[in-house]
A and B are shown apart, each in its own frame.
Chain A
Amino acid sequence: MHLDLLTDPLVLCIMLPLLGAVLTAALPRRAVLLGSLMAVATSAAAVTLTILVWQSGTLRVALGGWDQKLAISLRADGLATALVVMANIVGLGISVYASGYFRDPERMRAFWPLWLLLWAALNGLFLAGDLFNLYVMLELLGIAAAALGALTGSRDAIAANLRYLLVGLLGSITYLLGVALLYTAHGTLDLDLVAASIAADDELFAVNAATLVLMVAGLALKAALFPLHFWLPPAHANAPAPVSAALSALVVKAAFYLILRLWLDLFAPVTGMAAAMLLALLGAAAVVWGSWRALRAERLKLLAAYSTVAQIGYLFLFLPLLAATPAGPVRDSLLAALVLMAVTHGFAKAGFFLATGLVQTNAGHDRIDDLGGTAQRLPATTFAIALSGSALIGLPPSGSFIGKWLLMQCAIETGQWWWVIVVTTGTLLAAAYVFRVLSRAFGLEPTPLRFITDARAEIPALLLALVSVAVLGLASGPLWTLLGLQAGGDA
């Protein structure tokens, strides 16, 4: 037996859920047990990985022992690890929740392998160091996600997820064309090597730009950037609650992560202010439109889905600010804020959806206006909604508060003050839609006698929400360390 701590967790993060998927697929009757075990093991691997990266910086491994150029690399830098640890903790929460969620054993059996495949794909995406491998991961993600989304079997769900599947395919094939062009131009698929090649060769600027556009266009579809979000609300709103949580909190985030990676790492010499501004404008539109639609949504899950559209929009606002900020502690802070917002949204939205699912199960529907006392009967769930809601709004203390604070600070510093208006508007609208839900928790219904009624379902939601608020809002310093950034990013 031989364990190489520096590379094994990287592999295990992907292989454990994959193995879990295989086992749960092969032994459907043991699915819950095996799946839960693998979920725990995966999360443990992810946490180990995080600790390692925190201690020793970026980890990488070229699989198969071949040259970096020839082999597929896995690599975990701060950015990837931050998202991995978020995804895996959220994933663990979702797993615990899901273990009690499905009443129908068939669905339960269908859920586990697909969910673990999705999980593997997520970790793979975050950790992959190879452009084509990313494509395969994207496809795995898309297929598993669409299949999971359709798990309720309702017509709406199938229609929505068929659309989602097609969007995903369209996006990934467009991305793949980009990869093909990139290979044509640069002759390698390794992220670092391509990045180096792009930085070195200015002659191919136009080709690189086109490649970037192809890849970003494909990923923007998957990331549901306004107005390409059209597929998201029906897909996320009609999925089973744990799946919605995973889709909204993690899957969309993965696509965004790739955009970010391309934009900041790979194509940094190609990107410019104008293009960043375009994306940010779309992001701003997403913030306003998504929040508005969330406010007007009739169903709780639709509300949550539109909220995701808005939250993704926030992330794009960072691009022009990053473009306008020279390297240094300020830019580092901005980058950390971006990651922090993404991570916070991951936790918060997962908590929100899980709680929402419980409300839905309890009430038999999720029409907001008819929820009446359901929310009141479930104090812990309402709490989870409240906590994650305040993280969605960006109220302190939550990670998104810090994110917004730094975002606005930088917006003012760089003279792009208009983003402040966008953030403000979005925040107000978010407050309106969150409290539109929360106000249902105060009625003349009978008093609940206990705080927690269904521990297995309520505690994961509550804990995830709590992380988004308390942990990320009050102790986000380690994130800077993880990202390898200079601390104390102040003007």
Chain B
Amino acid sequence: MSAWLLLVLWVWPLVLSLPASRVRFRQDWAVGATASVAKPVLGPRRSALPWVALGPLPALVAVLAVPLGTELAMPWLFLGTQLGLDATARVYLGFTALLWLAAGLYTAYGERGASGHAGRFDALFLLAMTGNLWLIVAQDLFGFYAGFAMMSIASYGLVIHDGSTSALRAGKVYLVMALVGEVAVFAGLVLLASETGTTLPEPASVRDLSGLTIALLLLGLGVKAGMIPLHLWLPLAHPAAPVPASAVLSGTMIKVALLGWLRFLPVGELALPDWGHNLALAGLATMALALPVGIVQRDAKVILAYSSVAKMGFLMLILGLTLVQPALAPVGVAGIALYAAQHGLAKGGLFLGVGLRKHAGAPGSLAQALILGVLVFFALALAGAPFTSGAVAKYNLKPVLDAAEWTWLGGAVAASAAGTTLLMARFLWVMVRTEPHEESGWTWPLAAWGLLLVLVALFPFAFGKPASWATNAGPIGLGVGIAAAVALLAATRPKLLAPFIGLVSPGDLLALLAPLLDAFRQSGTTLLDDLGQAWSRLQALGAAGFERVFGTPVGDVERGLRQWSLAGALWVGISALLLILLLASRPLVAPDTGADAAAPVPTSTLLRKFRDRIPSLSLS
């Protein structure tokens, strides 16, 4: 019976999206004096129920109530649906549902941007949630893809919700990249289905993937994961989106890529050293780029976005290494899931915190102090300070890192940890300097935030061995130290560091790409214009020709023919020709009678008759 929860958990938010949208389908024109003005059909904030917060509840229940390994096959649904819950999915489902709940509460009670469009936001929020939850419990690739697509498209609406220019630009970049990613995933899945013959992929059944398939899947999901250089949308979308949207975007949605890889690649089944190394290097590169670029950003949410990119890089590194050595899979897969969970929760906390810092409580109030404190905690957790979830999760992955062939890897990871710490320090710096504008009614968002805090705080003790609690102090210490030094420098000699801030605009590579794209577009338009002109000239030519034939008056061209002499000549001529042809159709030469073959002169029957009758005409 509990298996049906797997269906309910994602259908429920889908159903909720209708009332949440608050669309009024009925429009009674006749009512009211202002009938001539179309009323806005999307209702105001604060409708009767916090629909968005209700969305993830069945999922939470499912996490707890549905036993591992439950499967629900519905071959009649879509292209053959199979829902199920394995360990990874359960972890994913857990943190995803929690984060959606927190973000949902924040949305329901805290989010106030773009008044009048709340219904739209809520509906899309729930749709994205639906997609996200569906793809987690879907074991068939259709479900995964459907959820994936639903989530991606709906998120577009979340990104551009406030309608500002920057949001629209971010949305455009997001959408284009998401679609490209989706298309690649689609192609990859088609190939996968074709090569493996199954639509229920699991590592054991996808051993025969071709390079093309793997590449498509890596790249397609890599867009979502923010793999360099496919990460361009992330630093743009996060600041543009409202806070809860950013939280789920960063906290859960980008993690989906990893889930996909775990499902569709033969993790633990097959050694793919080349692909593994490539992925690992891509992860490293992602980290190497994201951290420094993040540090020089101004906007807190951009900094967080880059942090997410870096973290995804780290997970890609781990996954890559796991792919190289299948034996590591049990550790790696579990580790990745846990890491994703902790990062999701912490990152969610950070994002919500940004919003709370801005609006909850007056400047200098106790609430704000508390908020800053909690933010510090989340930042430390994210950086992986000892006794935080980050350290524990990272410790779980240590075997994977240690097993790597690359000896320098340890250093690199340590450097990244230090870098993350620096990044978090920079984030806190920005947060501290953010001026809050108090608004009322933040109880429920704060409560949701508190939930995240509790979860993150309890994480190491729930999921980590005690040995892991105090790890990772070195790099963090180093990071804190550097941060402190830089902070000091910044405080004393602000001008020294100022030039670095904003050195790289959010979306880094995009700044380089944009002119190129513009150039392409412009030359494309010119080319099209030219073609269009040529075409229209051709059409004009055709039209002119047509006009010349059909526009001129007809005249009586047969007047000549109606002259008797001409018509008569034709008539007589044709008749003569007809006669000639008729006569010619017979062999003019009489068939040889055979008997008197001696007769040497073959004569026509016609002439023979004349010869016989009229001796003077005789030829002989």
Q: Do chains A and B touch in the complex (CB under 8 A)?
A: yes
Verify A206–B562 contact, CB threshold 8 A: no
Verify A209–B571 contact, CB threshold 8 A: no
Bound: A296/B553 CA distance, A: 9
Verify A272–B586 contact, CB threshold 8 A: yes
Verify B554–A228 contact, CB threshold 8 A: no
Tell me which of B558, B578, B606 contacts A233 (CB under 8 A): B558
Verify A213–B579 contact, CB threshold 8 A: yes
B570: interface (CB < 8 Å): yes
Bound: A412/B114 CA distance, A: 73
Verify A275–B561 contact, CB threshold 8 A: no
A271: interface (CB < 8 Å): yes
A62: interface (CB < 8 Å): no
- Max chain A Cβ within 10 angstroms of own Cβ: one of B570, B575, B578, B605: B578
Verify A271–B570 contact, CB threshold 8 A: no
> CB-nearest residue of chain B relative to A232?
B558
Give min CB distance, B549 to chain A, whole Å: 9
Residues in B whose Cβ lies below 8 Å from that of A212: 582
Which A residues from 376 to 393 make CB contacts under 8 A with B?
A: none
Verify A230–B582 contact, CB threshold 8 A: no
> CB-nearest residue of chain A relative to B570?
A227
Bound: A227/B581 CA distance, A: 18
User: Known: A227-B570, A230-B567. Contact between A274 and B561, CB under 8 A?
Assistant: no
Which B residues from 148 to 182 make CB contacts under 8 A with A?
A: none
Residues in A whose Cβ lies below 8 Å from that of B593: none
A270: interface (CB < 8 Å): yes
Verify B571–A221 contact, CB threshold 8 A: yes
B447: interface (CB < 8 Å): no
Count residues of chain B with CB under 8 A from any CB of chain A: 24
> CB-nearest residue of chain B relative to A233?
B558
Tell me which of A203, A206, A217, A274 contacts B581 (CB under 8 A): A274
Flag B572-604 by CB within 8 Å of A: 1 or 0 each.
Answer: 001101110111111000000000000000000
Give min CB distance, B592 to chain A, whole Å: 16
Verify A209–B582 contact, CB threshold 8 A: yes
Verify B571–A217 contact, CB threshold 8 A: yes
Bound: A209/B578 CA distance, A: 9
Give min CB distance, A234 to chain B, whole Å: 8
Bound: A221/B558 CA distance, A: 16
User: Known: A216-B578, A217-B574. Contact between A275 and B562, CB under 8 A?
Assistant: no
Verify A209–B570 contact, CB threshold 8 A: no
Taking chain A's interface residues, is the majority helix, strand, or loop, or is none over half, making it mixed?
helix
Verify B567–A275 contact, CB threshold 8 A: no
Residues in A whose Cβ lies below 8 Å from that of B558: 230, 233, 293
Verify A228–B582 contact, CB threshold 8 A: no
Verify A274–B584 contact, CB threshold 8 A: yes
- Max chain B Cβ within 10 angstroms of own Cβ: one of A213, A228, A293, A297: A213
Verify A230–B562 contact, CB threshold 8 A: yes
Bound: A274/B578 CA distance, A: 8
Verify A298–B554 contact, CB threshold 8 A: yes
Bound: A205/B605 CA distance, A: 9
Bound: A274/B581 CA distance, A: 6
- Max chain A Cβ within 10 angstroms of own Cβ: one of B570, B579, B584: B579
A474: interface (CB < 8 Å): no
Flag A293-311 by CB within 8 Å of B: 1 or 0 each.
Answer: 1001110000000000000
Bound: A359/B605 CA distance, A: 60
Give min CB distance, B318 to chain A, whole Å: 70
Residues in A whose Cβ lies below 8 Å from that of B606: 206
Give min CB distance, B303 to chain A, whole Å: 66
User: Known: A230-B567, A297-B554. Contact between A279 and B578, CB under 8 A?
Assistant: yes
Bound: A234/B581 CA distance, A: 32
Verify A205–B586 contact, CB threshold 8 A: yes
Verify B578–A227 contact, CB threshold 8 A: no
Give min CB distance, A416 to chain B, whole Å: 16
A210: interface (CB < 8 Å): yes
Bound: A217/B579 CA distance, A: 10
Verify A271–B575 contact, CB threshold 8 A: no
- Max chain B Cβ within 10 angstroms of own Cβ: one of A214, A270, A275, A298: A275
Verify A272–B585 contact, CB threshold 8 A: yes
Verify A213–B554 contact, CB threshold 8 A: no
Residues in B whose Cβ lies below 8 Å from that of A221: 571
Bound: A298/B586 CA distance, A: 47
A196: interface (CB < 8 Å): no
Verify A272–B570 contact, CB threshold 8 A: no
User: Known: A233-B558, A278-B577, A296-B554. Contact between A227 and B584, CB under 8 A?
Assistant: no
Which A residues from 167 to 216 make CB contacts under 8 A with B?
A: 203, 205-206, 209-210, 212-214, 216
> CB-nearest residue of chain B relative to A216?
B578
Bound: A48/B363 CA distance, A: 111
Residues in A whose Cβ lies below 8 Å from that of B567: 227-228, 230
Bound: A210/B557 CA distance, A: 33
Bound: A278/B557 CA distance, A: 24
Residues in B whose Cβ lies below 8 Å from that of A293: 557-558
Tell me which of B553, B571, B579, B585 contacts A228 (CB under 8 A): B571
Verify A282–B585 contact, CB threshold 8 A: no
Bound: A293/B570 CA distance, A: 20
A positions within 8 Å CB-CB of B: 163, 203, 205-206, 209-210, 212-214, 216-217, 220-221, 227-228, 230-231, 233-234, 270-275, 277-279, 282, 293, 296-298
Identify 18 new A-B residue pairs, CB closer than 8 A, beyond the known A213-B582, A227-B561, A228-B574.
Answer: A205-B586, A206-B605, A213-B578, A216-B575, A217-B578, A220-B574, A228-B570, A230-B558, A230-B567, A234-B562, A272-B585, A272-B586, A273-B585, A275-B581, A275-B582, A278-B577, A279-B578, A297-B554
B positions within 8 Å CB-CB of A: 550, 553-554, 557-558, 561-562, 567, 570-571, 574-575, 577-579, 581-586, 605-606, 609
